[in-house]
Amino acid sequence: MTEYAIKVLLSALVIVLVTELAKRSTLVGALIASLPLTSLLAFGWLYWDTRDASRVAGLSIDIFWLVIPSLALFLVLPYLIRLGWGFWISLLAAIVATVACYGVTVLALRKFGSG
């Protein structure tokens, strides 16, 4: 249970750090958020729990392919906000677009390779 609490605490600290830095500078917040901190934490926790480097490698390549459709969120959200859509509806639409892109990517990965 202590190990689980440490994982949650460290992961939450990353999110708080990004949020607090973004209040001061969106560029600095974006820099920290763009670092693959979540992936690094996941790699570390997965290896710690399994001692299986090949699983970490598999996770890494799957993350690589799934980063591509996640970029839709960062394109659709500002576009819709600039069109005058409200924040929440823009965020919802961006999430829907991103989920659709994930669906297409997962289908492609299953058909042509990974996944």
CA distances from 19 to 25, 67, 82 (A): 10, 21, 22
DSSP, res 1: -
Q: Supply the pTM of this predicted model.
A: 0.69
Supply the pLDDT for residue 98.
96
Nearest to 110 by CA among 56, 65, 57: 65
Please provide the DSSP assignment of 79-96 as one string.
HHHHTT--HHHHHHHHHH
Give the contacts of 81 (CB within 8 A, at least 6 positions apart): 87, 90
At position 43, the amino acid (one-letter code) is F
pLDDT tens profile 88-112: 999 999 999 999 999 999 999 888 8
